[in-house]
Amino acid sequence: MDASDHLYRREAGRMVATLTRIFGVHNIALAEDVVHDAFCRALEVWKFRGIPENPSAWLMASAKNRALDVLRRERTALRYAPELGRLLDSEWTLRPTLDEAFEPHAIKDDQLRMMFSCCNPRLAENAQIALILQLLCGFSIREVAAAYLIGFAAAEKRISRAKKVLAASEGLFEIADAADFTVRLAAVQRALYLLFNEGYHGASPESPVRADLCREAMRLAALLLGHPLAATQATHALYALMCFNAARLMGRVDALGDLISLADQDRSLWDRRLIDQGQRQLELAATGAAVSEYHIEAALAAVHTCAPSAGATNWAEIVELYDALLRMRSSPVVELNRAIAIAQVDGPERGLVELHAIAGSEKLASYPFYSAALGDLELRCGRGNSAREHFRNALSLARSPMERRFLERRVAACTAAADPP
Amino acid sequence: MSEFLYLYRGGANRADRTPAENEASLKEWVTWLTDLGQKGHIKDPGQPLEDSGKVVSGKAKTITDGPYAEAKDLIGGYTIVEATDIEQAAQLAGGCPIFQIGGAVEIRPVIKM
């Protein structure tokens, strides 16, 4: 268990979601206060009396009691969730209503409602994710700021704006009777996809992989899988993709915390259990006609993950999958990866032609791994001097100490393989 | 063995710290008190106290909100320990995690006949 996997991370989101349902979305700040308070009080008592066997149940009970206090004390002062309004008014119905709201299945549904509510189309994607991290994953503003490499003030502004939008909405998103369910589900899938990627490819200066972000994305994606309407083929494909990538998380970093390229990873470190789970999810994803970007990306990850070595990978299939992906979404980074795969199939000279064909892309100009790919292929063609130039250029674009050290090693490799005089 | 009351005073406000810091501190407290218990020093592990309360005073028995001590003096909880003498009680208090956050442990011998 790493330090980020603490009780608050695991429990706060569940508690906030359920209390927001009871208090109403306009009282989200009250829900957060009650959760924070319940948490602090529980911890104070546990200091003296010891940690109970089931802290999660203890916390939920404590949140429920605090909610009862608030509802009794401020029954007239505040307007609560309109759909529960009457039931909360009378002492006769108050307790049974709360008992029902704190049933495990109800708590799960509330987390889903909250997740869909955070992906409000009026919010930019990065604001949706920041909101998910804070409300569903128990991230503090400081932790959101660290996850997105932005300052504390910027993160605070982003979250408070997003919360205002959320609080001004009519209520939590109702999954069962929403006309725009399909559209909103796509937004939720996208947010979880981006959250996972931030953990997997993120440019955090401290760590090349943020396993905690990947874990949160998977936890929330698993909630989608647990709901009959939300468990679409695309959701299965997305979950499969996360499984395949998460399986390789531990192999991507060496003992010093540096990135290892795919070709050099020790594949015995990959998590078999997650790979198997990914395969099962991919099969479930393929039960219908729908093919999403997640299907293609999961298939790509499956080919890599199931290959015994980089050399024994089915690169021709990879090229085909990238072609399919490009037909759905044009992206310079996808084109870059496709060119690298082509070099594996048809040789480095052919790969270089493909790379130069996408050179004009503005997005790639500042992307260190475009120059690094040029360097790799030049090196494989035996042109060490040219390769070194490209790696030096890549080094000047490096975004983190890890990338810098990775590229420094590539520059050094060129010196060993310098051009014949 | 004699009994001693530990009064925990002050220390950083728990609301100012992150959940992860609070949880780390919880584990240290549990470790410390469990260890004292296993060595037979705990009479009553005690309880935490709310920050606010009431004070009743004077012949008129006036009730006021209070105690309004300065944060560093506020009693946050208590424990009753057993030790051979006050020196040992003081030495045992040295392991309390409260010192890391600027708090103090006040040790008061319980008077027995």
User: Tens digits of per-residue pLDDT, A163-193?
Assistant: 999 999 888 888 887 788 999 999 999 999 9
Residue A217 burial (C-beta neighbours within 10 Å; 0-12, 13-18, 19+): buried
Predicted pLDDT at A207: 63
| C-alpha to C-alpha distance for A214 and A305, rounded to whole angstroms | 17
Question: Within A138-250, where are the H helices?
Answer: 141-147, 152-168, 181-201, 211-225, 233-247
What pLDDT does A1 receive? 37
Integer Cα distance of A17 and B65 in angstroms: 35
DSSP one-letter code for B97: G
Give pTM, 2 decimals. Answer: 0.83
Q: Which two tokens stand for residue B60?
A: 């008129």
Task: Tell me the C-alpha to C-alpha distance, in Å, between residue A275 and each of A225, A279, A385, A393.
Answer: 17, 6, 40, 36
Q: Do A45 and A55 contact (CB within 8 A), yes or no?
A: no
Of B15, B18, B30, Cβ closest to residue A47:
B30
ipTM of the complex: 0.90
A38 vs A161: CA distance, rounded Å: 26
Contacts of A51 in chain B (CB under 8 A): 26, 30
Of B15, B18, B45, which is closest to A49 when you measure between CB atoms?
B45
DSSP 8-state class, residue A180 = T
State CA A222 to chain mean position distance. 12
* Other Cβ atoms closer than 10 A to A411: 17
Q: What is the pLDDT of residue A82?
A: 67
In order of A33, A155, A164, A257, the CA distances from A145 in angstroms are: 21, 5, 19, 22
Q: What is the pLDDT of residues A25-74, one digit of tens each?
A: 889 999 999 998 888 889 999 999 999 999 989 999 999 998 888 888 87
Q: Which of A6, A48, A50 sits opposite B19 (nearest CB)?
A: A6
Sign of the alpha-carbon torsion through A181, A187, A188, A193: positive
Nearest to A39 among B19, B25, B29 (CB): B19
Contacts of A54 (CB under 8 A, 6+ apart): none
- Nearest-CA distance A139 → chain B (Å): 9
- Per-residue model confidence (pLDDT) at position A204: 60
Q: Is A216 helix (H, G, I), strand (E, B) or coil?
A: helix
3-state helix, strand, coil in chain B (%, to 5): 30, 35, 30
Q: Which helix (H) or strand (E) segment is B107 a member of? A: strand B103-109
- Model confidence band, residue B14 (pLDDT cutoffs 50, 70, 90): low
Question: Around Cβ B90, how many Cβ atoms within 10 Å?
Answer: 13
B19 vs A44: CB contact, 8 Å cut-off? Answer: no
A382: left (phi over 0), alpha (psi -120 to 50) or beta: left
Average pLDDT, chain A: 87
Using an 8 Å Cβ cutoff, are B30 and A46 in contact?
Answer: yes
- What are the angstrom distances between the C-alpha of A107 and each of A136, A181, B52? 12, 20, 33
Q: How far apart are CA A235 and CA A185, in angstroms?
A: 9
Q: Residue B105 CA to chain centroid, in angstroms?
A: 6
Cβ neighbours of B82 (radius 10 Å): 19
Query: What is the number of helices (H) and of strands (E) in chain A?
Result: 21, 0
Return the biggest CA–CA distance within chain B. 48
Average predicted confidence (pLDDT) for chain B: 89
pLDDT digits (tens, 9 = 90+) for B48-86: 998 888 999 999 999 988 777 777 788 999 999 999 999
User: Which residue in B has a C-alpha nearest to residue A139's C-alpha?
Assistant: B19
Q: What angle do CA A78, A81, A82 make, to 5 degrees?
A: 100
User: CB distance B45–A45 less than 8 Å?
Assistant: no
| Interface contact A48-B22, CB threshold 8 A | no
**DSSP states of A293-343 as a string?**
HHHHHHHHHHHHHH-SSSTTS-HHHHHHHHHHHHHH---HHHHHHHHHHHH
* Tens-place pLDDT, residues A364-384: 888 888 999 999 999 999 998
Q: Are A111 and A136 in contact (CB under 8 A)?
A: yes
pLDDT in the model for residue A41: 87
In sequence order, the 6+-apart residues with CB closer than 8 A to the CB of A307 are A313, A314
Q: Is A140 within 8 Å of B23 when comparing Cβ atoms?
A: no
Instruction: Give the list of residues 6+ apart from residue A357 with CB closer than 8 angstroms, or none.
Output: A339
CA pair distance A228, A254, nearest whole angstrom = 40
Note the residue count of chain A: 421
- For residues A137 and A9, the answer to whether their CB atoms sit within 8 Å is yes
Query: Do the Cβ atoms of A358 and A346 come closer than 8 Å?
Result: no
State the Cα angle at B90 between B88 and B94, rounded to 5°: 110
Minimum distance, in Å, between the CA of residue B59 and any CA atom of chain A: 33
- Residues of chain A with C-beta less than 8 angstroms from the C-beta of B31: none
pLDDT of residue B17: 73
Q: Does B19 touch chain A (CB under 8 A)?
A: yes
Percent with pLDDT over 70 in chain A? 93
Mutate to test the interface with B, among A48, A140, A141, A142 (most CBs of B within 10 A): A48
Asked if A151 and A112 touch (Cβ cutoff 8 Å), the reply is no
Secondary structure string (H, E, C) spanning A46-94: HHHHCCCCCHHHHHHHHHHHHHHHHHHHCCCCCCCCCCCHHHHHCHHHH
Query: Is the bond leading into A332 cis (omega within 30 degrees of zero)?
Result: no
Could you tell me how many CB contacts below 8 A there are between chain A and chain B? Answer: 59
Contact of B48 with chain A, judged by CB distance below 8 Å, is answered with: yes
B32/A contact by beta carbon, under 8 A: no
How much is the pLDDT for A78? 65
Q: How far apart are CA A292 and CA A296, in angstroms?
A: 7
CA quadruple A116, A118, A122, A127: dihedral sign: negative
Q: What residue ranges of chain A have pLDDT lower than 70? A: 1-5, 75-78, 81-86, 202-209, 416-421
